[in-house]
Amino acid sequence: MTAAGRFAPSPSGELHLGNLRTALLAWLFARSSGRRFLVRVEDLDRARAGAEAVQLRDLAAVGLDWDDDVVRQTERTPVYEEALGRLAAAGLTYECYCTRREIQEAPSAPHAPQGAYPGTCRDLTEAQRVRRRAERPAAIRLRAAVTEWAVTDVLHGRYVGVVDDFVLRRNDGVVAYNLAVVVDDAAQGVDQVVRGDDLLPSTPRQAYLAGLLGYRVPEYAHVPLVLNAAGRRLAKRDGAVTLAALAAEGVSAEQVTALLLESVGLPGTLPEALAVFSPSALPRTPWILDPVAPSRLHGEAPRRP
């Protein structure tokens, strides 16, 4: 299978400038390295009716194209269950009956990193399991043999982060993001993962799991986020930060593409940006969205380099 990069939005609402900027970068990483570019809809959780169609329309509007049909995670349950079955057969999973509160209140295991699952259900006897199972449906956790794992990132270099007994299938039966993302990337031939750097802390878990499942660990590039003037992650309440809201102010999709490309130091159209794209030249720090920047674009043609 030809190598591929991807963009994997959760269809929870409209994409904002931060999501669009990450999508443009994922496309540039893939296309500049001869990879296919795929779009995967991560709709296991937080899916809102109609959001997927709007997201795909907006990705096309900023100039992106992708190969193959869009893949939806809700259509792939048997594939995740197969992977879960292989882990279970290898003794690498266990049932967990903890509520969120029980996890918070449990004394953490000695030397356990902050926020790691305390291991409450790891070594229960069969009799204890039978009793607990009757109380509430079980989640499935990974029986991790390590507490941390190192990954290499194109922009961050070596990054070591926590691996705990993380959830693979929630107790409502829905497969957890960390399992789905690893299985899907492997199944789709994705060998380059470009996404927002808010996901860097999850990456050691995913890379470790990929290894357990016999997959090759992809190349990672975690790109800086877009922040609002207060230094917080961009959100819809920050004003005109979606294509539709900007269009209502007279800002075209081409102008948005130019603004986003220029924010990473690239010329303002995709073909021009592709011609000079170099991962090592990308900024390593968040882009603080100047609230006047979009309105400054009113009626102006995108700037040329």
Q: Which is nearer to ligand GLU, 50 or 137 (CB)?
A: 50
Residue from 181, 210, 261, 289 in contact with ligand GLU (CB under 6 A): 181
Q: Which is nearer to ligand GLU, 165 or 197 (CB)?
A: 197
Task: Tell me: does residue 41 bind ligand GLU (CB under 6 A).
Answer: no
Q: Which is nearer to ligand GLU, 181 or 243 (CB)?
A: 181
Q: Which position among 236, 296, 298, 303 bears the catalytic label? A: 236
Distance CA 205, CA 229 (A): 32
Residue from 4, 5, 9, 182 in contact with ligand GLU (CB under 6 A): 9
Task: Tell me: does residue 267 bind ligand GLU (CB under 6 A).
Answer: no
Task: Tell me: does residue 23 bind ligand GLU (CB under 6 A).
Answer: no
Task: Tell me: does residue 55 bind ligand GLU (CB under 6 A).
Answer: no
Residue from 5, 10, 31, 92 in contact with ligand GLU (CB under 6 A): 10
Distance CA 13, CA 236 (A): 9
Spell out, one character per residue from 185 to 224, where the chain touches ligand GLU: x when CB under 6 A holds, - when not.
----------x---x-------------------------
Minimal distance in Å, beta carbon 148 to ligand GLU?
Answer: 20
Of 4-12, 129-137, 223-231, 283-291, the window that binds ligand GLU (rule: CB under 6 A) is 4-12
Minimal distance in Å, beta carbon 195 to ligand GLU?
Answer: 4
Task: Tell me: does residue 16 bind ligand GLU (CB under 6 A).
Answer: no
Do residues 203 and 153 touch, judged by C-beta distance below 8 A?
yes
Minimal distance in Å, beta carbon 42 to ligand GLU?
Answer: 4
User: Does the annotation count 236 as an active-site position?
Assistant: yes
What residues act catalytically?
236
User: Residues in the site for ligand GLU, rule: CB under 6 A?
Assistant: 8-10, 42, 181, 195, 199
